[in-house]
Structure 1
Amino acid sequence: MIIPVRRFVATCALGALGVALAACGTPGTPHAARPGHPASASGSANAQPPRPPTLAPGSSGITPVFTNGPRTKDKIVSLTFDADMTANEGTRAAAGEHFDNPELIATLRAFKVPATLFMTGRWADEYPKEAKDIGQDPLFEVANHSYSHYAFTDNCYGLPIVPQERMRAEVEEAYTAFKKAGVPHAMPYFRFPGGCYDQQALRTLSAVGVTAVQWDVVSGDAFATDADAVARQVLEGVKPGSVVVMHCTRSAAPVTEQALRTIVPELRKKGFRFVKVSEMIGSATQGERHGTT
């Protein structure tokens, strides 16, 4: 999901995306089985791992939207990275353009930073070994960023548009690509390409059983050339419970890895602890049940 910082707008929530959580879904108890992995009966030899936390559906069962975790004294933050590759970019990859970023993954490992990667199915098809390596590393979790990285609304940063009748398939085909690449347990979280969505898209995806994950901090790393500026923007924006959107795409976000080398130690100095989105959503649902959000 490559977006320039100056155009940080999601269709469902103009202005601050913090209102999306209230408008489109509220924290609740975990409710949905992981897409493609129905929950098995208790005690079954083929039982799946515990279901990751998700938000309860919004009104009329609409897909819930998660923007940030609780603003509590527990200073947790989620760094999320979009592994973007649009379906029509295959010729560019064949010509040598790099849509992956192994150095960024290596830096996260060196710093021992848990992270969530929102991966397109097309990216997993192009880089299956990297997708498998990331998906099998307990430090990371893989979530869904659609198969083709086409937009789910009109006027979304020039992206091609997914017809409504193809929206569900875009999500399901991405999970199929992850499984084919060897990602064992992709998470039931979905990030709209470009961050663009509307009520129609949320209604259409309700049957898939995912929680849509947005963010409250834009890193500004898309097409950036100044790592210090990216780091500064993140450090100035992070609050307890923040979800930061960044990118794992060398060609379109070339300074992200360098920026991380400043972001991670500085946030740790401020007392922040890095968590994956699943833990952040778990904190939100637990806080809702106990009235502490």
Structure 2
Amino acid sequence: MIARAGRITAVCVLGAALAACGGADGGRQGPGRSAVPVSIVPPVVRPPVLAPGPGGLTPVFAHGPRTRGKAVALTFDADMTADEGPRAAAGEHFDNPGLISALRALKVPATVFLTGRWADEYPAQARDLGRDPRFEVANHSYSHYAFTADCHGLPTLPADRMRADVRRADAALKKAGVPHPMPYFRFPGGCHDERSLRALSGLGMTAVQWDVVSGDAFATDAGAVARKVLDGVRPGSVVVLHCTRGAAPATERAVRTVVPELRRRGYRFVKVSELIGQTDGHRSG
């Protein structure tokens, strides 16, 4: 039941056990009410996406507007291919909790693209990211196999399996406890063509690329990574980084340099969804 006191201007999404939201008693237990804890879930707001291209082609986003202030989105790919389970079992780290802790300490919002295989390997971390309002979690395929040929040495996914791979990743994220994966997709290696964009048509997703390559993959020089980011950022930029300790060991140190310097230059950090929301639905890549 919803008790009213004057005009209720906030919308509350209620669980079955929720007795009152914004009521006159502020949600306190009254006579005859069961002592069930109240849990208020924020309303689900439809994330912004780009309009499909000709013939329903999956739209591609690379950066936000250059004229709406100094906003920059840091994005992090959690790469783990479908066949890397034995390496994880042998002790290789495909996660980077220190980097996530640094982003929280620095109060930096970010967009994290998880492979479904990564979510299977680290479900607690996937759930933690998906429920932290500082982050938004999006789809990076299930297998991390390439959607085109000759893509950084990755195995190639057949065209007739691309759509199923993306859907499997979405299912893996939800199974891990990510309540609302964003309708954004990052191609493994960033490799895509018309065939792959066509394969994902109709899923309601926006493919998210970038305009600043950090060069953190397999890099050990954090200073060089930081310089590359700082030299490339412009208003509306999307920066691609990684959150896998084994394959990108210098990323946390680079981020600790990049964040204060960009703030000193007047930049504010945003999620990809904010930049997409500023584009009025038009393609940027």
Matches within 5 A, 1:100-249: 100-249=95-244
What secondary structure is seen at the aligned counterpart in 2 of 1:130? helix
Give the deviation of 1:283 after TM superposition. 1.2
What TM-score do the two structures reach when normalised by structure 1?
0.81
Residues 111, 271 of structure 2: 8 Å contact kept: yes
Aligned partners of 1:285, 1:89: CA distance in 2, in Å? 40
1:87 to 78, 82, 85: 82
Write the deviation string for residues 103-122 of structure 1: whole angstroms up to 9, x where unpaired.
Answer: 00000000000000010000
Give the deviation of 1:43 after TM superposition. 10
In structure 1, the gaps of 5 or more residues are: 1-41, 289-293
Larger radius of gyration: 2
Residues 52, 59 of structure 2: 8 Å contact kept: yes
1:281 corresponds to which residue?
Answer: 276
Residues 12, 43 of structure 2: 8 Å contact kept: no
Give the deviation of 1:45 after TM superposition. 7.2
What secondary structure is seen at the aligned counterpart in 1 of 2:84? helix
What secondary structure is seen at the aligned counterpart in 1 of 2:200? helix
Summarize the Cα distance change of 1:219–1:172 in structure 2 as closer, same or farther, 3 Å threshold: same
Amino acid in the other structure paired with 1:204: A
Aligned partners of 2:103, 2:58: CA distance in 1, in Å? 31
2:28 corresponds to which residue?
Answer: none
Aligned partners of 2:64, 2:13: CA distance in 1, in Å? 33
Identity %: 70
Residues 99, 252 of structure 2: 8 Å contact kept: yes
The answer to whether 1:270 aligns with 2:265 is yes
In structure 2, the gaps of 5 or more residues are: 1-10, 16-41
Aligned partners of 1:284, 1:222: CA distance in 2, in Å? 29
Summarize the Cα distance change of 1:44–1:96 in structure 2 as closer, same or farther, 3 Å threshold: closer
2:64 corresponds to which residue?
Answer: 69
What TM-score do the two structures reach when normalised by structure 2?
0.84
Give the deviation of 1:247 after TM superposition. 0.1
Aligned partners of 1:128, 1:257: CA distance in 2, in Å? 21
Aligned partners of 2:280, 2:135: CA distance in 1, in Å? 21
What secondary structure is seen at the aligned counterpart in 2 of 1:52? coil
1:253 corresponds to which residue?
Answer: 248
Relative to its length, the structure with more helix (as a share) is 1
Write the deviation string for residues 241-272 of structure 1: whole angstroms up to 9, x where unpaired.
Answer: 00000000000000000001100000000000
Write the deviation string for residues 190-248 of structure 1: whole angstroms up to 9, x where unpaired.
Answer: 00001100001001101211000000000000000100000000000000000000000
2:53 to 55, 58, 68: 58
Aligned partners of 2:149, 2:259: CA distance in 1, in Å? 36
Summarize the Cα distance change of 1:45–1:217 in structure 2 as closer, same or farther, 3 Å threshold: same
What secondary structure is seen at the aligned counterpart in 2 of 1:208? coil
What secondary structure is seen at the aligned counterpart in 2 of 1:212? strand
Aligned partners of 1:87, 1:137: CA distance in 2, in Å? 26
RMSD of equivalent CA atoms: 1.7
Residues 94, 245 of structure 2: 8 Å contact kept: yes
Runs (4 or more) in structure 1 with deviation over 6 Å come to 42-48
Residues 79, 94 of structure 2: 8 Å contact kept: yes
